[in-house]
Homo-oligomer: A and B are copies of this chain.
């Protein structure tokens, strides 16, 4: 068994990682740290794990060497400790945003502060298997992905790979998100009485995850608009773009099917009947799938490209486990078999 530890296990991303690793056939969890819940059973914070583990949260200062170290801390922590972490484990997977961008100046532009360990930026592979599967096979350091960036990148991936986008037109990506994106800490607006029933466009543009779309897809004129809706888990990205002149539905089908065929966790959802004709995050809770769909207005080339994911799975912990599998040469889907529920 490969030994793994998690730094920062009491947040939502850490809890989801725990769930996945506890049922993973190849790994054994050695330590899970939490300062605020030190000494508590992990199931007291993540009640779904009751009767499945007797692990307790340990002190991050008492970490022992391990095969793989997962970092599930708030943004901005890992870059200050990466040197010490690298002495504890040969392989590191970070779920936070510290090592997602390759360029220090680009990082500073989007995060408004200098990176604390710029020399590490190029050691990390960006953690989206659909874009970096081959590199992961030989990587030791893999970054996390932004959940909104992932929904955006996968929505547009078939169009970019098949070179169907009219890149002279701006791309507007409208993203609707559930409350678990806000994390286990929350703020005054996260209170149920304020957050329930909302349709709240809390960020019109300028969201940090935009940087990951620019870097990974090479698109320039792209904006992400964030709207909170009443749901706990789930993201839907609805991207508005223009296709190149002459691009027709058959070209799109070909492009989407190609991506779905190459990637075990990508599905195309575009049905003519039934209730579930388009990608929807609700049926993805707990699953690692990214469901893609599209509609083309052939009269003007307007394409509406959609991607639905569970922000805590494909948008965070699920992708991290998928990355681990690829990094270790294991079955890409190991530990990620849960299909999602219907109804839910």
Q: List residues of A whose CB falls within 8 A of some B CB.
A: 12, 15-16, 19, 22-23, 40, 44-52, 170, 172, 174, 176, 178-180, 182, 184, 186, 188-202, 204-206, 221, 223, 225, 227, 229-234, 236, 238, 240, 260, 267, 269, 271, 273-287, 289, 291, 295, 297, 300, 302, 304, 306, 308, 337-344
Contact status A44-B273, CB under 8 Å: yes
Q: Taking CB as reference atom, which chain B residue is nearest A235? A: B199
Copies of this chain assembled into the complex: 4
A206 to B302, CA, bound (A): 12
A78 to B284, CA, bound (A): 33
A122 to B227, CA, bound (A): 39
Separation in Å of the A180 CB from the closest CB of chain B? 5
Determine the chain B residues whose CB is within 8 A of the CB of A40 once the complex forms. Answer: 274
Determine the chain B residues whose CB is within 8 A of the CB of A196 once the complex forms. Answer: 179, 192, 196, 230, 232, 282
Contact status A283-B230, CB under 8 Å: no
- Which of A199, A202, A277 counts the most B-chain CB atoms under 10 A from its CB? A199
Determine the chain B residues whose CB is within 8 A of the CB of A234 once the complex forms. Answer: 197, 199
Determine the chain B residues whose CB is within 8 A of the CB of A51 once the complex forms. Answer: 260, 267, 289
A289 to B48, CA, bound (A): 9
